[in-house]
A and B are shown apart, each in its own frame.
Chain A
């Protein structure tokens, strides 16, 4: 049986494989986003306890992240949820006395000179969200450069990629992948390693320590994936040419 293929950046890919990979990427981004968004509640806790944690993925940080998180969940007890809530506050909120009391999950904090909120990074990501037809909901009271939102943005783009692939819109798929790559490099990889370094300093539970490793490992993996799919050794003019041909 002939499988459908698609050409992106002068490379052929199996459509179904690409759809599956992007569905998994969406799930991963969504999972990470939720864990950074707020404390784990009972439904989420049950969900993470049901999730699968592979032993060997081929990426050291991801493996270490899974090991630590699974280790915590595999020895959970009556007060694990309370432990996680306390650790979430400790890691991401801190005691608020200094600008170094926690791993503040905002891009502005790590990319502004004085570690302030609502700086240039927030304005930039807000513009990117709007360019993609997105905006934060009224219920979201934090800045738009919160890591949960930035990860969720990538998740949404993954879902759009899946839709584009299913509808056969390869040009759109290519544009979305490029958007993801730029966003990953300009607004995730640029600061999240510093965040995860701080998380490792503040986390007392293996769960949030594992989350730091998992986030680092996944983003590096995703960067490699996007570079591979987009064949980024080629210049941008090649990508634009492809758009004109594929649309």
Chain B
């Protein structure tokens, strides 16, 4: 390997033994558990089993698990998968994520989302020419030697593009906002009047803030026991794609359809709600 060695962590001066504090964790482990070794052996086997189980999961299972664990980021993840039905360069994905997250800043970068999707098997890297990345083997003939020595060519990297996998597409196509919203309404039938109130408020041109929603629903007898707050309903509707945050809560097309479906539901009776509706 023709790589220059970096700076040394050794000093050449002969000096007395430097301080090396014993690891506090080591001391703690020794005193806490007499059967530490046996316990850690079992721990090791359990951890290995968990790792192996994850690795054995199918792409479909891993994708479903990812979306389950990252519910708040569902919209971004689906946007990426939707856009990558055709090969997309990295900068396009960066723009897409920036747009989707414009009003909802996240610690996750576009690259991180793509890597998570890749790990789950929903996204794959490819090049313009191939659907998978291939590595070139370049022959570098040396003038001083008779034989050519083959080297991998890493000087000019392949342009990386992202492409949604078959499993990723299957997940996108199976994902149905309507079904999720219907399931939500069936599960929380008791609160349908509240959901209708919230959707109605958010259908205004300026949308509705959380305090607007809170003011409209807080006196409802439905929210006394158990006590629930505006944020609960807003988030439930957002995860079902009925609401979207754009500096305030706004209704989406899915939400508008749901509102039509809730036409027969009676409002929770408060003075504020009647004012808003009119």
Give chain A's interface residues, CB within 8 Å of chain B.
24, 26-31, 33-34, 37, 44, 47-56, 66-67, 70-71, 73-79, 82-83, 98-101, 113-118, 122, 126, 129-130, 133-140, 143-144, 148-149, 152-153, 155-156, 201, 204
User: A99: which B residues are within 8 A, CB to CB?
Assistant: 29, 40, 43-44
User: Is B152 a contact partner of A44 (Cβ separation < 8 A)?
Assistant: no
A24 to B4, CA, bound (A): 10
User: A148: which B residues are within 8 A, CB to CB?
Assistant: 9
A156 to B58, CA, bound (A): 48
A148 to B44, CA, bound (A): 25
Choose from B20, B151, B158 the contact partner of A143 (Cβ within 8 Å): B20
User: B253: which A residues are within 8 A, CB to CB?
Assistant: none
CB B10 to nearest CB in A, in angstroms, measures 5
Q: List 10 A-B contacts (CB under 8 A).
A: A71-B135, A75-B133, A75-B158, A75-B160, A77-B125, A98-B47, A99-B43, A114-B37, A130-B14, A152-B9
User: Is B14 a contact partner of A133 (Cβ separation < 8 A)?
Assistant: yes
Which B-chain residue is minimally distant from A138 (CB atoms)?
B18
A82 to B135, CA, bound (A): 21
Asked whether any CB of chain A lies closer than 8 Å to the CB of B260, the reply is: no
Asked whether any CB of chain A lies closer than 8 Å to the CB of B105, the reply is: no
Among A33, A100, A122, A201, residue most surrounded by chain B Cβ atoms (within 10 Å): A100
Choose from A26, A76, A98 the contact partner of B157 (Cβ within 8 Å): A76
User: Is B4 a contact partner of A47 (Cβ separation < 8 A)?
Assistant: yes
Which A-chain residue is minimally distant from B43 (CB atoms)?
A98
User: A71: which B residues are within 8 A, CB to CB?
Assistant: 133, 135, 152
B25-36 vs A, CB cutoff 8 Å, 1 = contact: the mask equals: 110011000001
Which B-chain residue is minimally distant from A156 (CB atoms)?
B10
Choose from A37, A114, A122 the contact partner of B40 (Cβ within 8 Å): A114
The number of chain B residues with a CB under 8 A from chain A is 53
Among B10, B13, B150, residue most surrounded by chain A Cβ atoms (within 10 Å): B10
User: B9: which A residues are within 8 A, CB to CB?
Assistant: 37, 136-137, 139-140, 148-149, 152
Give chain B's interface residues, CB within 8 Å of chain A.
1-6, 8-15, 17-18, 20, 22-23, 25-26, 29-30, 36-37, 40, 43-44, 47-48, 51, 90, 109, 111-112, 115, 119, 125, 133, 135-137, 140, 149-155, 157-158, 160
A116 to B51, CA, bound (A): 22
Choose from B14, B150, B160 the contact partner of A135 (Cβ within 8 Å): B14
Given the known interface contacts A54-B151, A73-B157, A118-B26, the answer about A78 and B90 at a Cβ–Cβ threshold of 8 Å is yes
Given the known interface contacts A71-B135, A113-B37, the answer about A156 and B8 at a Cβ–Cβ threshold of 8 Å is yes
Given the known interface contacts A27-B4, A74-B157, A78-B90, the answer about A114 and B10 at a Cβ–Cβ threshold of 8 Å is no
A163 to B36, CA, bound (A): 48
User: B151: which A residues are within 8 A, CB to CB?
Assistant: 52-55
User: Is A31 a contact partner of B1 (Cβ separation < 8 A)?
Assistant: yes
Among A77, A126, A143, residue most surrounded by chain B Cβ atoms (within 10 Å): A77
Which B-chain residue is minimally distant from A112 (CB atoms)?
B26
Given the known interface contacts A74-B158, A100-B40, A100-B44, the answer about A134 and B1 at a Cβ–Cβ threshold of 8 Å is no
Among B25, B90, B150, B151, residue most surrounded by chain A Cβ atoms (within 10 Å): B151
User: Is A98 a contact partner of B40 (Cβ separation < 8 A)?
Assistant: yes
A136 to B20, CA, bound (A): 11
User: Is A126 a contact partner of B17 (Cβ separation < 8 A)?
Assistant: yes
User: A137: which B residues are within 8 A, CB to CB?
Assistant: 8-11
Given A37-B6, A129-B10, A136-B11, output 15 extra A-B contacts at Cβ < 8 Å.
A52-B2, A71-B133, A74-B133, A74-B153, A74-B154, A75-B135, A100-B43, A100-B48, A126-B20, A134-B12, A135-B18, A136-B18, A144-B20, A149-B9, A156-B10
Choose from B2, B12, B111, B136 the contact partner of A82 (Cβ within 8 Å): B111
- Give the 7 A-B residue pairs with the shortest CB-CB distance, closest first: A30-B5, A70-B152, A79-B111, A77-B160, A55-B150, A116-B26, A73-B154
User: Is A77 a contact partner of B157 (Cβ separation < 8 A)?
Assistant: yes
